[in-house]
A and B are shown apart, each in its own frame.
Chain A
Amino acid sequence: MIETRELSKRYGSFTAVNAISFKVEPGQVLGFLGPNGAGKSTTMKMIAGFLAPTSGRASVAGFDVETQALAARRVLGYLPEGAPSYGEMTVREFMDFMAAMRGLAGDAAERRIDDSVGRLHLEAVLEQPIDTLSKGFKRRVGLAGAILHDPQVLILDEPTDGLDPNQKQEVRSLINSMARDKTIVISTHLLEEVHAVCTRAIIIAGGRLLADATPAELEARSRYHQAVSLSAADVEQAKAALARVADVAAIEVDPQDQRITAFPKPGRQIFVAVSDALKAQNVAVRELALEAGRLDEVFRSITQGAGGKGVRT
C-alpha cells in the first residue's frame, strides 16, 4: 500500500508538488499522468525516499518514508527516472550487487536473479557491460533490479520509455502479471499505456492532483464518450441522415479522412438510433463505431483547461 497525505515539495518559491494526497491498495496499478515537469517524478522520488518532502507525509506498506525509511525501502522496488545503473558493471555483476544490497544470498539470490533476468529476457546479455547495451536493454536491466527482491510495492518511473513496441508490450504484460498482489505505481506519458496496464489514473499538472479516476471514468469525461463515428461513401447524405436523429447534438467531419462523428446530447446514447437512421435512409456506410472516449482529449482538457482547477471523482 502507498499513501500520501498533502505531500508537497517546494524549491524556494517554486512549488514542484502541491499537497498531493492519494492512496493505492494492493492489486491496483496506478498510472501517473501529466505533462513534462508536472511533478510526477518528484512525487515518486519522495515516496521512494530519495527526496525529503517539504511538508506532508508518505508511507509505503504502512512505513513512513522518513521516520521508518529503511523498513519502507526494504519492501519497495523503485525504478528511478532514466533507469540509471552502474555502466561499467556487467548485467550479472549488477544483479549480484542488487541482490547483496537486498540481503539476498546463496540459493535465494540465485533464484531471484534467474527469475528477474528471465522475466525481462536478459539472458543473452548477462556478461555484457551495461554501458555497451542498447537503451531498451538498459531500461530492462533497471527494471530487473527493481523487481529483484519481489517487493510488495513497486514504483516505476517511465518503465517503457525507450522500448520498442514489442518490448513495451512485454513490460506491460510483466506489470499485469505482477499486479495481482502488489501495489504498483507507474508514470507515463503514453495514454495507451494507461489502458493497457492501469486500474486507476492520476493526472498531475503544475504539481497539483487534477484527476483521480479509472481509465473508463476518465474516458467518460471525453466529448467523444458515447459518440458514434462512421465513414460513408456519400458524406453529405450521411450528415443529413444523422441530423435527423433526435439525440444527436453535433456532427463533425474530419477534414483529412472525411470520417464523420456524431456527438450525443449529454447523457444520451445514440448508437442504435444512428444505425437505424442510416439504414432507413439507405446510406452506404463502410464502417460504424461507438467511441469510448479519447483519453488524449481528456488529458489535454484537464491539464490545459480549467487553469488547474481540481477535478475529482
Chain B
Amino acid sequence: MSLTLTIFKRELRSYFATPVAYVFIVIFLLLAGAFAFYLGGFYERGQADLQPFFTFHPWLYLFLVPAVSMRLWAEERKSGTIELLLTLPVTLWQAVLGKFFAAWAFIAIALALTFPIWLTVNYLGRPDNGVIFASYLGSLLMAGAFLAIGSCLSAATRNQVVAFILTVAICFVLLLAGYPLVLGAIGSIAPQGVVDAVAGLSFLTHFEAIGKGVIDLRDLVYFVLTIAVWLYASTLVIDMKKAA
C-alpha cells in the first residue's frame, strides 16, 4: 500500500513538474466554461442549475482525458523507465493503481477548479446543491473510467499518439453505446439481447442518471466495475509484454 502511495506521489508531482498540468487545466477550464455559457446557454436558460455545464463533460473528457492517459505507460516504455519501475520490488497492481490514482487525482484537481461556476450559480439563485454534488461525482467517475481505458491502451503501445487515438475511439463507442449510432450498427449483426447488454454499457446513460441527482448504487457499481476491469486489463497487457 505504501508503495502505491509512493508511486502516486511521484506521478502526481511529475504532472506539475511539466507543462502538461498547466496546459491541461487551463484548456479544461476554458472549454468547460465556453461550452456551458455559449453552447449550453447557461444564462439564457434562466435556471439556477449546472446542467448546461455538466452536459458537455463527456465530450470534453473524450479528448482531454486520453491526452492525460496516453502517457501513463507509453512514456515509461519509450524512455525505458518502465524497466526501472518494474524491477523495483513492487507488484504490477501497485504500479498500475499508483499511476491510475495519480492521473485521477490530477483530473479531480482540474474538476475542482471549476468551483467558480458553482459559486456563480449559488450567487445567482438557489440551485439544488445535492444534484450538483451528484453531478460532480458522476463526472469524476466517468473521467476515471476513461482513464482506466486509457491506462490499458497506453500499456499496449510505446507510441503515445496511437494510445491517444485508440482511447478516444473506444471511449467514443462506450459513450454512445446507448444511442442509435452504436445500437443500430450492433442490432444489424447481433440479437436483441446483445443490443440490450451493449446499451447497458453506455457511459452517457449512467452519467446522466447520476446527474439527475439520484445516486443509484447500480450506476456507481457500473463505473467502479468499468474502472476495475480496465485496470485489470492493464496489468494483463503489461504482463503479456513481459513475456512477449
Q: How many A-B residue pairs have CB under 8 A?
A: 67
Q: Are A52 and B84 in contact (CB under 8 A)?
A: no
| Of B7, B83, B89, the contact of A102 (CB 8 Å cutoff) | B89
Determine the distance from Cα of A178 to Cα of B61 in the docked complex, in whole angstroms.
52
Q: Are A50 and B6 in contact (CB under 8 A)?
A: no
Instruction: Tell me, yes or no, whether B3 is within 8 Å of chain A by CB.
Output: yes
Instruction: Tell me, yes or no, whether A88 is within 8 Å of chain B by CB.
Output: yes
Q: Are B83 and A97 in contact (CB under 8 A)?
A: no
Q: Given the complex, which residues of A lie within 8 Å of B87, measured CB to CB? A: 48-50, 73, 76, 78, 80
Q: Are B10 and A86 in contact (CB under 8 A)?
A: yes
Q: Given the complex, which residues of A lie within 8 Å of B84, measured CB to CB? A: 78, 80, 84-85, 145
Interface residues on A, range: 20 to 34
Q: Are B10 and A45 in contact (CB under 8 A)?
A: no
Instruction: Tell me, yes or no, whether B80 is within 8 Å of chain A by CB.
Output: yes
Determine the distance from Cα of A145 to Cα of B242 in the docked complex, in whole angstroms.
23
Give min CB distance, A261 to chain B, whole Å: 44
Interface residues on B, range: 20 to 34
Give min CB distance, B91 to chain A, whole Å: 7
Instruction: Tell me, yes or no, whether A101 is within 8 Å of chain B by CB.
Output: yes
Q: For residues 122 through 146 of chain A, which have their beta carbon under 8 Å from a beta carbon of chain B?
A: 129, 145
Determine the distance from Cα of A36 to Cα of B18 in the docked complex, in whole angstroms.
35
Give min CB distance, B84 to chain A, whole Å: 5
Q: Are B79 and A87 in contact (CB under 8 A)?
A: yes
Q: Given the complex, which residues of A lie within 8 Å of B80, measured CB to CB? A: 80-82, 84
A-B contact pairs, 25 of them (CB 8 A): A45-B83, A48-B83, A48-B87, A50-B86, A50-B87, A52-B243, A73-B89, A76-B87, A78-B84, A78-B87, A80-B83, A80-B87, A84-B84, A86-B10, A87-B79, A88-B18, A89-B17, A93-B13, A97-B10, A100-B2, A100-B3, A101-B90, A102-B88, A103-B89, A129-B17
